[in-house]
Structure 1
Amino acid sequence: MRKQSLTAAGLLLSLTLPLSQAGAQEVVERSVGSEYEQFRLVKVVDGLTHPWAVGFLPDGRKLVTERPGAIYVVEDGSKTALEGLPEVHVANQGGMLDIVVHPDYEDNGWIYMTYSKGDSDGTVPALARARLDGNSLVDFEELFESNTYTSPGRHYGSRVVFLDDGTLLMTIGDRGAEPMRSQDTQDHSGTVVRLNADGSVPEDNPFVDDDDYAPEIWSYGHRNIQGIVKHPETGQIWATEHGPRGSDELNLIEPGNNYGWPVVTLGRDYRTEGEFGDARSRDHQAYGMKPPVFEFLPTLAPSGLAVVHGDSFGNWDGNLLAGGLRAQRILRLVVEDSEVVHAEELLLRRIGRIRDVRQGPDGNIYILNDQSDAALYRLEPAS
């Protein structure tokens, strides 16, 4: 495994407008220099409260979720709240979470969303879909919920990505519960599940015929994945995962793999900074478990992950962009032969905690920051 400790890349910033004066659809920074690209930072819409995800409609409009329980349609620098949302349990890290437009949206109209449901005695992450009719969600269907309600309102995971065969992957965090459940193969907590588009179980899931495993499980031994993306050329599934103190991970997700948590971890105990108390080893291979491709040092607290493709940022083609909450930055990762060979730091402390990073159909990069007065931003080529 390749380990790397990063320092600030010393971004070249010029012609900067004060953030307090930058309105919706206004340029925040006219020219930002990186190692291989020059880009503009544009505020698309502001006035968001702890937004969590951005999705893209074929007509150019965006969908933005807010963790406190809202979904907005964003168009021409303004936002419109949708009606017809599911009942969401909003507390701690729970609420309205991911949103993804079905790849065949123009034919079926489906929009997929994840959220926390339940009450103060226990919650689960759930997956649903609906169609958009004006400013309302209609034809609502709940498709799936995790099979264990739990009281800690954290570690929901809850990112969704569609695969080429029409199935989808949904990440589910370990829920921060005691005892830890990511090695319990009957429990969805700490897993990536694979579902058909209607929420049913695909017949070729890796454990579908094994009674010792929940049939939805695609991979397990995860702590809290909040970034996942499919590479458009290789088909590889990349995910960023929160570790304990240190040891945030980039993983290559493959069916049937056990990624180790909490038996094996490179992270440290939050209180003592010693070896993590429940871990028996730092050696994944000794236990037949899959090690991370890359360990983020210093801490990234990763959320949101994109793979850059196309001509808009041609010098970044094939690179991963990993958002960081605590680190307040984006890391551009160059991957060769499933190994990170270079990393560059972008937008360090420019817009705060990064919650989501995605490339839109227009080739631009869209970013959400996580704060009480947040915004949707766009990176676009400066030339």
Structure 2
Amino acid sequence: MKRAVYVGVAAVWLAAFMPLSTLGAPRTQPVAAGLENPWGLAFLPDGRYLVTERPGRLRAIAADGRLGEPIAGLPAIATGGQGGLLDVLADSSFASNRTFYICYSEPEARGSANSTALARAQLSADGLRAENLQVIFSQRPKVASSSHFGCRIVEARDGTLFLTLGDRFSRKEDAQRLDNHLGKVVRVAKDGSIPRDNPFVGRAGALPEIWSYGHRNGQGAALGPDGQVWMHEHGPQGGDEINVLQAGANYGWPTVTYGENYGGGKIGEGLTAKDGMVQPLHYWVPSIAPSGMAFLTSDRYGAAWKGNLFVGSLKFGYLDRIELKDGKVAAEHRLIDGRARIRDVRQGPDGLLYVLTDESNGKLLRLLPD
């Protein structure tokens, strides 16, 4: 499959270097504290929150902020570095099936290698255990690395699950190969089976789970108002990207990138564009180290914010409010600037935004309108 997809490089360049402004800083309201490096957030119909802690714990937090005991029954998790228990997603029918999904770094049975895995389970009636746990996807190959797991989960409108997968840092060239899961986004059904309309089904030498490839390390993904899956991914040193996922598309890593090697120097041939590789919708230089992604669909913050995209910055510790116009980034605004590393951002059932701060005494914060 050969394609040339460009979105106006000049426009992207201008947006990438557009200065951030500090406008309309919202008030933050603490919901919970005492979380150890929280990573993922999901909302339950009864007002509770499910929050993952990277060292391997999943907790239910009461509506009043009380932390529950760690939920029992989780699988073996490889912790350390960037690895651990990462994303969590409540099924769209959680109220009737009590099903949730977790993404985590899965150790191999023997040895030091690991990979990203996706499991489903039911939350017990008392909220204390994960029951009927089943691993529905396991990235291969496993790699002896503690970096670049990706691990954001999105449920699409048709009920399929998208999962971002990192290149594991030491295997970046594999992101361009279709015979492995490194540097990919995969799409599976909720039981782990392969949807028949996946783009590489039936193609020799290609894994049928793959939806798109040429990714580096996507730690933010969300279902857009257009029904497409949006994601962002870390660049190496500069070149963090926002991409809208297309079936079968190649997003270029490591052949093309707006970043450079750590310490300086071009990556590969130093290309920023190549025929058949999708240009990012937006990129950041210098890197902001993005994590978490959410669209605001409510009007709780007024018309100016509705439809905006929100992304956390780990490097600079702010929440980025991104205005979109005609499918492009028109402006960016720093919110809760310098508060802490923002690991995740979600819109709650009440229409308000919630963020997780990635720290040893991590917090769940609610953003209140002015």
TM over 0.5: yes
Q: How does 1:340-359 map to 2 (within 5 A)?
A: 340-350=329-339, 352-359=340-347
- What is aligned with 2:199? 206
Amino acid at match of 1:289: M
Contact 1:167 1:197 in 2 (8 A): yes
Q: Aligned partners of 1:102, 1:87: CA distance in 2, in Å?
A: 22
Residue identity over aligned pairs, in percent, reads 41
Residue number among 92, 99, 105 corresponding to 1:116 in the alignment: 105
Aligned counterpart in structure 2 of residue 263 of structure 1, from 255, 258, 261: 255
Superposed CA deviations along residues 241-275 of structure 1, whole A, max 9, x for unmatched, are 1001000011111111000000111111112x222
Name the amino acid aligned to 1:130. Answer: A
**Alignment-mate amino acid for residue 48 of structure 1:** L
Aligned equivalent of 1:132: 123
1:249-304 superposed Cα distances (whole Å, 9 cap, x missing partner): 11111111000000111111112x2222x245221xx3310010111133210100
Other-structure match for 1:294: 282
Whole-angstrom CA distance in 2 between matches of 1:316 and 1:111: 30
1:56 aligns with 2:68: no
- What is aligned with 2:4? none
Q: Quick one: distance in 2 between partners of 1:179 and 1:312?
A: 42
Q: Distance in 1 between matches of 2:232 and 2:223?
A: 12
In structure 2, the partner of 1:147 is 140
Quick one: which of 230, 241, 244 aligns to 2:233? 241
The 5 A counterparts of 1:327-342 are: 327-342=316-331
1:47 matched residue in structure 2: 34
- Residue 368 of structure 2 corresponds to residue 376 of structure 1: no
**Count of residues in correspondence between the two structures:** 351
1:182 aligned counterpart, secondary structure = helix
- Which amino acid letter does the alignment assign opposite residue 281 of structure 1? L
Greater shift, 362-371 or 171-180, is seen at 171-180
Q: Aligned-pair distance for 1:85?
A: 1.4
Separation in 2, partners of 1:213, 1:10: 46
2:54 alignment partner, one of 43, 54, 67 = 67
Q: Deviations over 1:222-248 (max 9, x none)?
A: 0000000011x3112211110010000
Q: In the aligned structure 2, how far is the partner of 1:193 from the partner of 1:45?
A: 33
Trace 1:121-200 onto structure 2 (pairs within 5 A): 121-133=112-124, 134=126, 135-178=128-171, 180-200=173-193
1:9 aligns with 2:1: no
Secondary structure (helix, strand or coil) at the match of 2:364 reads strand
Change in Cα spacing, 1:179 to 1:132, as seen in structure 2 (3 Å) is closer
Aligned to 1:282: 272
Between 40-49 and 179-188, the greater mean CA deviation after superposition: 179-188
Question: Residues 18 and 331 of structure 2 are in contact (CA less than 8 Å); yes or no, is this contact kept in structure 1?
Answer: no
CA distance in 2, matches of 1:152, 1:142: 21
Offset at residue 212 of structure 1 (A): 2.2
C-alpha contact (below 8 Å) 2:231/2:293 kept by paired residues: yes
2:20–2:331 Cα contact (<8 Å) kept = no
Q: Which amino acid aligns with 1:343?
A: E
In the alignment, residue 371 of structure 1 is paired with which amino acid? E
Q: CA deviation at 1:10?
A: 3.9
Q: Which residue of 2 aligns with 1:21?
A: none
Could you tell me whether the CA contact under 8 Å between 1:226 and 1:241 is conserved in 2? yes
1:19 aligned residue: none
The runs of 5 or more residues in structure 1 that have no matched partner are 12-32
Is the CA contact 1:6–1:297 (under 8 Å) kept in the aligned structure 2?
no
Q: Summarize the Cα distance change of 1:324–1:153 in structure 2 as closer, same or farther, 3 Å threshold.
A: same
Distance 2:258 2:284 in 1: 11
Q: Report the AA paired with residue 74 of structure 1.
A: I
Identify which of 96, 99, 111 aligns with 2:85.
96
> Do 2:311 and 2:319's aligned partners in 1 also have CA atoms closer than 8 Å?
yes
Tell me the alpha carbon deviations over residues 7-37 of structure 1, each in whole angstroms, 9 at most, x when there is no partner. Answer: 45345xxxxxxxxxxxxxxxxxxxxx34xxx
Decide whether the 8 Å contact of 2:172 with 2:253 is kept in 1. no
SS of the equivalent of 2:96 reads helix
**Structure-1 separation of matches of 2:269 and 2:305:** 37
Partners of 1:10 and 1:280 lie apart in 2 by 33
The structure 1 segments of at least 4 consecutive aligned residues displaced by more than 4 Å after TM superposition are: none
Shift, 1:347, TM fit: 1.4
Query: Structure 1-normalised TM-score?
Result: 0.89
Q: For 1:323-354, what per-residue CA distance to the aligned partner results, in whole angstroms no more than 9, with x for missing partners?
A: 1101211111111222111111111102x111
- Find the counterpart in structure 2 of residue 24 from structure 1: none
* CA distance in structure 1 between the partners assigned to 2:47 and 2:208 by the alignment: 37
What does 1:66-85 correspond to in 2, within 5 Å?
Answer: 66-75=53-62, 76-80=64-68, 81-85=70-74
Label 1:179 to 1:193 Cα distance change in 2 as closer, same or farther (>3 A): closer
Map 1:310-329; keep pairs closer than 5 Å. Answer: 310-314=298-302, 315-329=304-318
